[in-house]
Structure 1
Amino acid sequence: MAEGLGNRAIAQRLTLPERTVENRVSQIMRKLDRPLRVAVAAWVRER
């Protein structure tokens, strides 16, 4: 996500099902209270 990759690209890179990536991305966004992917990417880059 921090690199701006979509779910499909992340799934291919990690050799995971796309649905798994979708679920994990949603969980991460909820836990960080960031409703947008770009907000999560910005959060990661700040750290």
Structure 2
Amino acid sequence: MQSAKLTKRERQVAGLVAQGLSNKQIAAESVISPRTAHGHVEHVLTELGFNSSAQIAVWVIDESRQETS
């Protein structure tokens, strides 16, 4: 996996995506609009060069493993 410079909010959104939350649920959890949540998810996908939420989830897990190593 590649390393990326994501903002704190984008990392939070990525973590919520990894938990299986929808954009609407991410918006409620983060106190942002669903459209803003969608924008963050799209930016995370673009920044990481991914096509799916599942890839974000794998990246989040990999990042957390690297932090604990």
Give the structure-2-normalised TM-score.
Answer: 0.65
TM-aligned CA deviation for residue 43 of structure 1: 0.7
Give the structure-1-normalised TM-score.
Answer: 0.93
Measured in 2, the distance between the counterparts of 1:12 and 1:23 equals 15
Measured in 2, the distance between the counterparts of 1:31 and 1:15 equals 23
> Aligned Cα RMSD in Å?
0.6
Q: How many residues align?
A: 47
Identity among equivalent pairs (%): 28
Q: 2:45 aligns with which of 29, 35, 38?
A: 29
User: Which 5+ residue runs of structure 2 have no aligned equivalent?
Assistant: 1-16, 64-69
Moved over 2 A (4+): none
Structure 2 letter corresponding to 1:16: I
Larger relative CO (CA 8 A, sep 6+): 1 or 2? Answer: 1
In the alignment, structure 1 residue 12 sits paired with structure 2 residue 28: yes
- Whichever structure has more helix as a proportion of its residues is 2
Measured in 2, the distance between the counterparts of 1:10 and 1:27 equals 14
TM-aligned CA deviation for residue 39 of structure 1: 0.5
